[in-house]
Amino acid sequence: MRCRWLAWWKGLPALALLIAAAVFFARVPTEEDLTRRAEALLVNIGESWAHASFDGRDAKLEGEALSEEARVKVRTELAALSGVRSLEDRTTLLPERRPFTFSVVRDGSKLHLSGYVPSRWARKRIAEAAAQMAPGVIVTGEKELTRARGVPAGDFAGVVIFGINQLAKMPSGRVTIADNSFSIEGRAPDFATYDALEVTVRSELPADFDLARFAVLPPAVAPFVWSAEREQDGVKLSGYIPLGDARRALLDLVRSAVPGAAISDQLRLADGSPPTQGWLKAVAFALDQLGRLPDGKVSLSGTTISIEGTAPDFASYDALAGARRNLPEGYTLTRFAVEPPTVSPFIWGVLNGAGGLRLTGFAPSEAAKKLALDAVRAGFPGLPVSDEMRIAAGGPPAEAWASATAFGIAQLARLRAGSVRGLATTLTISGEAVDSAAYLAVSGALETAPKGFSLQSDVRPPVVAPYVFGIRRDGEGLTISGFYPTPQAHAQITDAVKHYFPGLTVNDVSALAQGAPDGFDAAARLALRELSRLDAGEVRLDDRRLRLTGTAFHSAAVTSIGESLKRDLPAGFSVDLGLDVLTRRDMLDREACRQAVAVLLERGSIVFAQGSARLDPVSYGLLDRVASVAAGCPDVAIEISVAHADIDPDQAASRARTVIDYLAAAGIAPERLWVGPFGTLAAQSTARPGADGGILLIVR
């Protein structure tokens, strides 16, 4: 037996080792199982702040609780866990924080967290949401977040994450939570974001939390525009309004300017406005003008003001126009597009009278009227101007009106007295020209009407007294001076010059003027006819007095000229003659005499009245010059024959005899003159239009 006991004793160490190994390997799975189930339990009951560790089946509970109730809850639930034998509670209470605060600050790609969290799980949720807020965001402060008691009711981590999500929409900003109060500030990058932020924050803030402050700024706009427009039933407000309490003040201004009007407020809050007080003064000024415009619109852009619409009457238009001189300080009026009242008919006038210039009627715009005034001052420097012109609609376009009126004023400046009057698109210019040059200038200008207008003219030449007209003939040609009453009279005088002085150089310095006596045209043509018979001379009409001076070729011409003037001058005209007789003769031989006569006959024709042997007066001057040449050729004879075979021989002989008689009366001895047969010509006249034949003068 003893031997058996000794054998058993020898097996005890091995048995102990076997038992220890069994206990060890059975304990580890038990602790792991209990730990796993305890952690799941704590999460399920919402107390993840607590942590349980096991020594076998004995539990040790650690952590910082938010409340004593949470500690009790954790102890009770863990003690009831299957497999737990004992429980050692080492938990403590977190420090309490009042107020329980948290802040999130974003500055571009940087996000900083600070404040208190109720649990590690809350800290983890917040940190993960911050890291995912935006690509590349750098999050700081998450490790310094402090757990504390005093968290308000509700999902605190959820409201922090809500705030982070709103900051993701802005380049910078701040979210602040104090107990259950939520505040957000920053600047929205655009209006869509601003609208979305305001709607989201005001309507989707997590339950149990209140919005204490929404201080997100709208985007800054440039230019800062605002407008108010009259509608059928009220006033529509559009554009932007400054931050703060400007909206209430603005609505009061609208009600004051347009009493009883319904207000359609479509304004948006925006940053970037001028100083609010100055802006409100500018708005008040604009709304005062809108009150005078039933269909008007006023607007501000930065510090500029625009007014447009149609004035209902002249009083309103005058008030609107006058208001432009009293703009709010710091503001300018860049657009004044107020249409004046419409008038019909649209008339205006610029009148030049004894008292100065008067502007009457209507102008289509202030700018057009200013151009008209500038034209008046330029054309009539120093002359008093009375401006009675009003601005009205219903007339020609402003630019065309200004151009036509300036054109009329330019012509008016050339008139001694007169007017420019407009009726719609018809321009009438009337008056007496300052002088003949001015009359011609006005007449030339009036040949082309201003664009868009028709012209009517009653511009008269100047009246001169005494009415003088003169023609001087000398070795250099013919000079015409003085005045003629009409362009037709001037044309008749010009034709007479060509008729009586063919080929002669003419210097015409005469001018158009009124005041000619009756019969002036006939007297002037008669004077030209008699002047053509002089070697040199001058005729002058002084009202009804005609004076003819100069040198005749022979004494018979002097008598003939005097008789013709007295006989043919119109009634009421008097004659004053001062004629001499040419005494000097150039003595010529036969060939020189022949050439001299030939030259005379090349310049003019010996013409008879149609179908008769009576000389046309146009031939008197030519025959007087032929007689003068013949007087210097005493040794030659002159044969006269008719150079037209179709003329009746008797009439031809009569015409030749008429020429002989005229030359004989001019002092040529009859024996030197005879009627010859048709033959070879030494010199001859040519047939003149309207005459039925010419005379041949042959120097023998």
The two three-digit tokens of residue 181, written as one number: 């109060």
Q: How confident is the model at residue 683 (pLDDT cuts 50, 70, 90)?
A: very low
Check for a shared fold between 225-339 and 468-581: yes
- Judge whether residue 586 has pLDDT over 60: yes
Structure tokens at 325: 């001189």
Among the four given CATH numbers 3.40.1520.20, 3.40.50.880, 3.40.630.30, 3.30.70.1350, the one describing domain 347-448: 3.40.1520.20
pLDDT at residue 631 in the model: 83
Q: Among all chains, which residue has been given the structure tokens 């949401």? A: 129
Q: What is the pLDDT of residue 7?
A: 59
Q: What is the C-alpha to C-alpha distance for residues 457 and 419, in angstroms, rounded to an integer?
A: 10
Band (pLDDT 50/70/90 cuts) for residue 600 is confident
DSSP letters, 228-267, are: EEE-SSEEEEEEEE-SSSHHHHHHHHHHHHSTT-EEEEEE
Q: Kindly tell me if the per-residue pLDDT of 674 is higher than 90.
A: no
In the predicted structure, residue 276 carries a pLDDT above the cut 80 = yes
Whole-number percent of the chain with pLDDT over 90 = 67
Render pLDDT for 402-427 as a digit per residue (tens, 0 to 9). Answer: 999 999 999 999 999 899 999 999 99
Nearest to 550 by CA among 542, 563, 561, 539: 539
Task: Kindly indicate the confidence band of residue 692, based on its pLDDT and cuts at 50, 70 and 90.
Answer: very low
What mean pLDDT is reported for the chain? 89
Query: Is 225-339 a domain of CATH 3.40.1520.20?
Result: yes
CB atoms within 10 A of CB 574: 13
pLDDT digits (tens, 9 = 90+) for 152-174: 999 999 999 999 999 999 999 99
When pLDDT is cut at 50, 70 and 90, the band that residue 49 belongs to is confident
* Contact yes or no for 690/649 (Cβ under 8 A): no
Task: Give the pLDDT confidence score for residue 671 in this predicted structure.
Answer: 82
Query: Which of 252-256, 350-354, 636-640 has the lowest average pLDDT?
Result: 636-640
pLDDT above 60 for 550: yes
The answer to whether the predicted template modeling score (pTM) of the entire model surpasses 0.75 is no
Q: Please report which confidence band the pLDDT of residue 685 belongs to, taking 50, 70 and 90 as the band edges.
A: very low
Q: List the structure tokens of 128.
A: 């993960």
Task: Name which residue leads in pLDDT, 647 or 107.
Answer: 107
Q: What pLDDT is recorded for position 19?
A: 59
- pLDDT at res. 27: 64
Question: Residue 664 is which amino acid?
Answer: A
- Beta strands (DSSP E) in 90-248 are 92-93, 101-107, 110-117, 138-140, 146-147, 172-178, 181-187, 210-217, 225-230, 234-241
pLDDT at 3 over 70: no
Return the CATH number of the domain spanning residue range 101-217.
Answer: 3.40.1520.20
Of 168-172, 564-568, 626-630, 690-694, the range with the lowest mean pLDDT is 690-694
3-class secondary structure per residue, 544-560: CEEEEEEEECCHHHHHH
What class has domain 17-93?
alpha beta
- Asked if 100 and 181 touch (Cβ cutoff 8 Å), the reply is no
Q: Which of 66-70, 432-436, 465-469 has the lowest mean pLDDT?
A: 66-70
| Percent share of the chain, pLDDT over 70 | 92
Domain boundaries, given as residue ranges, for the chain: 17-93, 101-217, 225-339, 347-448, 468-581, 590-699
Candidate from 312-321, 590-599, 608-617, 675-684 with smallest mean pLDDT: 675-684
Alpha carbons 531 and 53: distance in angstroms, whole number:
152
Q: How confident is the model at residue 678 (pLDDT cuts 50, 70, 90)?
A: very low
Q: How far apart are CA 425 and CA 201, in angstroms?
A: 66
Structure confidence at residue 26 as a pLDDT band (50, 70, 90): low
Size (the chain), residues:
700
Name the pLDDT band for 615 (thresholds 50, 70, 90).
confident
Fold of 590-699: 60s Ribosomal Protein L30; Chain: A; (3.30.1330)
Could you give the CA distance from residue 445 to residue 404 in angstroms, rounded to a whole number?
12
What is the domain class of 468-581 according to CATH?
alpha beta
